[in-house]
Structure 1
Amino acid sequence: MDLTILYRGPLASCDYDCPYCPFAKRRDSPERLRADRAALERFADWAAQQSRDRLSVLFTPWGEGLVRSWYRRTLAELSHLPHLRRVAIQTNLSCRTDWLADADLGTLALWCTYHPGQTPYDRFLAKCHDLADRGARFSVGVVGLPEHLEHARRLRGALPGHVYLWINAAEGHTYTDEEAARWTDLDPLFPYSRHPHRSAGLPCRTGESVISVDGEGTVRRCHFVPSELGNLYDGSYRRALAPRACPLAVCDCHIGYVHLETLPLYDVFAGGVLERIPAKA
């Protein structure tokens, strides 16, 4: 079986203070961090034992995972498993990068976001060039707020040409056609992010070949639909895997709508769906 898993454990702390994020500068208690580490190790042990399946895993923590040693170690270890097709994580890239020396860079990938005002531009860019020099697979993105436009243009001009720069439409922001055109000049795929996608009743891969898993092992079809399909660790979720239509009116997050069968994004991102790298990047 080919199965894509979006994993999100208890971690909810971040070292950045982005005004558009509810988890900015949030601190987890020592107890919560221990719970997150235990949950991640349990998930990694489960994944290592699924040699009969072909797994792809994207870690989508509410906070920043790579500043925690257990995330760096887990990604490196999972990347060496032959039945893992892709292991990726969303990150602000504030962590060091030397841990990548222990990973299989043919399997591991990073989805990196640049947050202007949270980290020096030169520091972020240097880390991007370090990733490129190491041969790591990674994409880089920016939230499409008006005050970020010049930062994004500067970044696009300085990144290696093969690195895809994506733009996320800012939540709650309405773009005029003129504004949208500026962002589309940087990211030709920005129109997919500009407007929420109607999804009610439409076929989606989530719940069939894509699932969401939390720290307790509870399986849902995706992060945005609360109904449960079973539990990862007792195997009960497998009985629930089946084609199903989306129950929500719209889907406005890339990690959700990329799986809609009515959109061509599996072809657009062929080989790079989890790390958000287009096939022709």
Structure 2
Amino acid sequence: MDLTILYRGPLASCDFDCPYCPFAKRRDTPEQLRADRAALERFTGWAKDQSGDRLSVLFTPWGEGLVRSWYRRALVELSHRPHVERVAIQTNLSCRTDWLADADPDTVALWCTYHPGQTPYDRFVAKTRDLADRGIRFSVGVVGLPEHLEHARRLRAALPPHVYLWINAAEGHTYTDAEAATWTALDPLFPYSRHPHRSAGLPCRTGASVVSVDGEGTVRRCHFVRAELGNLYDGSYRAALAPRPCPLAVCDCHIGYVHLETLPLYDVFAGGVLERVPAPGSLG
């Protein structure tokens, strides 16, 4: 079985203080951190043992995972398992990058977000150059707020040409056609982010070949649909895997709508769906 898993454990703390993020500067207690570590290690152990399946894993923590040793270790360990096709994580790239020397660069990948005002620009760019020098697959993105435009332009000019710069439409922000055109000049795929996608009743890969898993092992079709399909660790979820239409009116997050079968994004991101890396030549 080919299965893509979006894992989100209880970790919620972050070292940044972004005004557009509800989890900025939240602090997990030592007990919460121990629980997150135990949950992640349980999941990693399960994933390592699934040699009869073909797995792809994206870690999508509410907080910043790579400042925690157990997330770095999970990516390194899973990257060396032959049945793991890809293991990736969403990160603000505030961590060091030397740990990637122990990972398999053909399997590990990073989905990086640059948050202006939260980290020195030169430091962030230096880390992206280190990733490129190490041969690590990664994308870099910015939230499309007006005050971020010049930062995004500067970042695009500094990144290697092959590195995709994505722009996420800011939640609650309405873009004029002229504003959208400005962002699209930086990210040709910005139109997919600009408006929520109608999804009610439409076919989606989630619940069939893509699932969401939490720290308890509860399996859902995606992060945004709360109905449970079973549990990862007792195998009860497997019987529930089947094609099914989306029950929500709209889908407005990339990690959700990228899996809609009515959109061409699996072709656009062929080979790089989890880390948001477009296929060569797909951007024109």
Letter in 1 for 2:166: W
Identity level (%): 88
Q: Which residue in 2 is equivalent to 1:40?
A: 40
Q: Which residue in 1 is equivalent to 2:237?
A: 237
Deviations 1:184-221 (A, max 9, x none): 00000000000000000000000000000000000000
SS in 2 for 1:185: helix
Q: Which residue in 2 is equivalent to 1:260?
A: 260
Separation (CA, whole Å) in 2 of partners of 1:267 and 1:280: 11
2:149 is the counterpart of 1:149: yes
SS in 1 for 2:237: helix
* Post-superposition offset of 1:268: 0.3
* Post-superposition offset of 1:150: 0.2
Deviations 1:46-95 (A, max 9, x none): 00110000000000000000000000011000000000000000000000
Letter in 2 for 1:147: E
* Post-superposition offset of 1:130: 0.6
Letter in 2 for 1:263: L
2:94 is the counterpart of 1:102: no
Q: What does 1:112-151 correspond to in 2, within 5 Å?
A: 112-151=112-151
Q: Which residue in 2 is equivalent to 1:214?
A: 214
Q: Which residue in 2 is equivalent to 1:280?
A: 280
Letter in 1 for 2:182: R
Separation (CA, whole Å) in 2 of partners of 1:8 and 1:113: 17
Deviations 1:207-252 (A, max 9, x none): 0000000000000000000000000000000000000000000000
* Post-superposition offset of 1:166: 0.2
Q: Which residue in 1 is equivalent to 2:2?
A: 2
Separation (CA, whole Å) in 1 of partners of 2:184 and 2:74: 36
Separation (CA, whole Å) in 2 of partners of 1:30 and 1:19: 25
* Post-superposition offset of 1:280: 1.9
Separation (CA, whole Å) in 2 of partners of 1:236 and 1:187: 41
SS in 2 for 1:236: coil
Deviations 1:121-157 (A, max 9, x none): 0000000001001111000000000000000000000
Separation (CA, whole Å) in 2 of partners of 1:195 and 1:84: 33
Letter in 2 for 1:20: Y
* Structure 1 unpaired stretches of 5+: none
Separation (CA, whole Å) in 1 of partners of 2:44 and 2:50: 10
Letter in 1 for 2:128: C
Letter in 2 for 1:260: L
Deviations 1:142-182 (A, max 9, x none): 00000000000000001000000000000000000000000
* Structure 2 unpaired stretches of 5+: none
Q: What's the Cα RMSD here?
A: 0.5
Q: Which residue in 2 is equivalent to 1:63?
A: 63
TM score, norm. by length of structure 1: 1.00
TM score, norm. by length of structure 2: 0.99
SS in 2 for 1:178: helix
Q: What does 1:74-93 correspond to in 2, within 5 Å?
A: 74-93=74-93
Q: How many residues align?
A: 281
Separation (CA, whole Å) in 2 of partners of 1:153 and 1:5: 33
Deviations 1:108-129 (A, max 9, x none): 0000000000001000000000
Q: What does 1:187-226 correspond to in 2, within 5 Å?
A: 187-226=187-226
Separation (CA, whole Å) in 2 of partners of 1:132 and 1:267: 24
